[in-house]
Chains A and B, each alone.
Chain A
Amino acid sequence: MTDWTRRQIGGLIGGALLAVAAPHIVRGQGRAKIVVIGGGIGGATVARYLGDMKSIDVTLVEPNSNHVTCFFSNLYLAGLRSLASLTFGLETLAEGYGITIIRDSAVAIDPVGRAVELRGGTKLSYDRLVVAPGVAFKFGEIEGYDEAAAKIMPHAWIAGPQSELLRRQLESMEDGGVFVIAAPPNPFRCPPAPYERASLVACYFKQFKPRSKILILDAKDKFSGQELFQDAWSRHYPGMIEWLPSQFTGAIKAVDVAARSVVTEGETFRAAVANIIPAQKAGLIGEKAGLIDASGWCPVDPVTFESTLQPGIHVVGDSIIGGDMPKSAFSANSQAKACAFAIAASLTGSPQFPPHLFNSCYTFLAPDDAFTNALTFAPEGGRIKTVKMFISKVGESAEVRRRTAHHAVGWYSAFTADVFGGGS
């Protein structure tokens, strides 16, 4: 990868310059100063769209040098995409949009003094702050499942090293083994993704380990796209995938990493490979900044995405209470644009238009069989409500499904260019 050096240098330059300036407050002069915490899908989109408005000074804080997209990571697990093809640097945002990238983590927010403190000691002042830290896991709800256990039974719900670990385990698994997926309770990041994962790993097994089985132990009694998945499982992978709803098992209660077993209320399952996807909550910085309510997520105004708990701080992406909007990359991107334009409108006193919020997810059932949905949303009574919803249907022709899979690949390329800049 030729852009490695550029990436590293970009990160070092941002980090080094600001580290020297620490710990005094770096103040913007003249131009409105926006700080964005989190360079994932929501944060990168906000930064890019505000950066596009040349007249705003944007600083993006992100600890990782590049972002590995969760979307399409199930294709990687099935051996159908490389991880490098899912990896994006932030250098285009720095070079093409004049955004200052700081490779660090936010550790504290002072909403009154309007400043963010970074792990390295730097303090950044802001006129407006946007927080987009994604999800954190509720470790401890499943007995025995903590960060250390995740190194043996990966969640692979933040793409990167966790995905690589799970892929290695699937590759070295013996034919005839059982791959257990523990699917989380609502609300969680990307509702159809555990079942897409089952479908694509089944595709891999069908070719390389045909006697293997997949067992989904669900914390729920129904799931997103259920009819479409179950139809596909019987067509493509008959007898290979078993889904056990919570009402049958009482859901997963504990794991024993040494014994490689997963325990439900009444039964213990031995797993050749276990993928434990824990219950989720808003990214941790939200807790420290008083952005989170009793639900564990961040309440926001559905027009501006300003926190209803902390004025001057906006939150987008998986961390928010999104009403009817699912926690998806598409939703995060859509919210981020609405948020960026709302911030620009309020800074300039320009008219504010009602946001057009949208979500469309492509889900793979097999490499040439994908389905899609398309949902539009509007703010209503302080909540985000679905206006229209369309979804692919069971019984569509193979040609329609092939075309949808082809569209998914086109979407991926356009979407990542939209988020991380570039595409020219």
Chain B
Amino acid sequence: MKRERVAAIVSRAKGLAAEIRWLLGLSLSAILLFPEGSAPADISQGAQIAATCASCHEPTGGGQAIPPIAALDEQAIVKAMLAFRASESPSLVMHAVALSLSDDELAATARYLADRANAGRQP
């Protein structure tokens, strides 16, 4: 996997994530529906796809058979996913997942997971 390509994907994700935050920020109905300072839900694209990961990956690590993903950085996630996309081995499950994500979706998910890890929260 070429470094430049990873970098390009990650930079696209940043753009996308910013766009989503902007859209969420504009949403007036969110403010009306979630009064009293309660935080609106994180329903960004990254959050939604990352929810899929949690069907198999333990939230706080500890998974031995299926490796934890909570502490991985953005580039490591993108790199691993591109390798899974390329081959059915070593995991046909991850091959299917990786093929189902566009580059933008993959980048948004990696960014979301890495942000959560940085914030010290569970994915």
CB-based A-B contact count at 8 angstroms: 141
Question: Please, which residues of chain A bring their CB within 8 A of the CB of B30?
Answer: 348-350
- Determine the interface band of chain B, counting residues with CB < 8 A from chain A: 35 or more
> Which residue of B29, B59, B93 is within 8 Å of A374 (Cβ)?
B93
B residues in contact with A53, CB < 8 Å: 40-43
Segment from B74-82, B95-103, B112-120 that makes contact with A: B95-103
Neighbouring A residues of B24 by C-beta, 8 Å: 348, 350
CB distance from A40 to the nearest CB of B (A): 15
Q: A423 contacts B60, CB within 8 Å?
A: yes
Task: Answer whether residue A334 sits at the interface, using C-beta atoms and an 8 A cutoff.
Answer: yes
- Whether B36 pairs with A30 at a CB distance below 8 angstroms is yes
Q: Which residues of B contact A32 (CB under 8 A)?
A: 33
Which of B29, B52, B56, B95 is within 8 Å of A349, CB to CB? B29
Flag if A418 contacts B48 (CB, 8 Å).
no
Known contacts A360-B93, A411-B66; A333 and B33 CB within 8 A of each other: no
Residues of B29-57 contacting chain A, CB below 8 A? 29-30, 33-36, 38-43, 45, 47-49, 51-52, 54-57
Q: Bound complex: CA of A374 vs CA of B55, how far in Å?
A: 13
Q: Which of A334, A353, A390 contacts B92 (CB 8 A)?
A: A390
Q: Pick the contact of A414 from B55, B92, B97, B122 — CB < 8 Å?
A: B55
Q: Is A165 an interface residue when CB atoms closer than 8 A count as contact? A: no
CB <8 Å contact, A54 and B38: yes
User: How near does chain B come to A312, taking the closest CB pair, in angstroms?
Assistant: 16
Say yes or no: A414-B33 contact (C-beta < 8 A), given A358-B55, A375-B96: no
Judged by a CB distance under 8 angstroms, whether B1 is at the interface is no
How far is it, in angstroms, between the C-alpha of A402 and the C-alpha of B48 when the chains are bound?
Answer: 32
Q: Is the CB of A374 within 8 A of B45?
A: no
The one of A330, A350, A387, A418 that contacts B43, using a Cβ cutoff of 8 Å: A350
In the bound complex, how far is the Cα of B28 from the Cα of A350, in angstroms?
10
Asked if B96 and A390 sit within 8 Å, CB to CB, the answer is: yes
B52–A337 contact, CB under 8 A? yes
Inter-subunit contact A418/B88 (CB<8 Å)? no
A residues in contact (CB < 8 Å) with B = 30-32, 49, 52-56, 330, 333-334, 337, 341, 344-345, 347-351, 353, 355-356, 358, 360, 372-376, 387-392, 406-411, 413-415, 417-418, 423-424
Which 4 residue pairs across A and B have the least CB separation, nearest first?
A410-B65, A53-B41, A374-B96, A349-B29
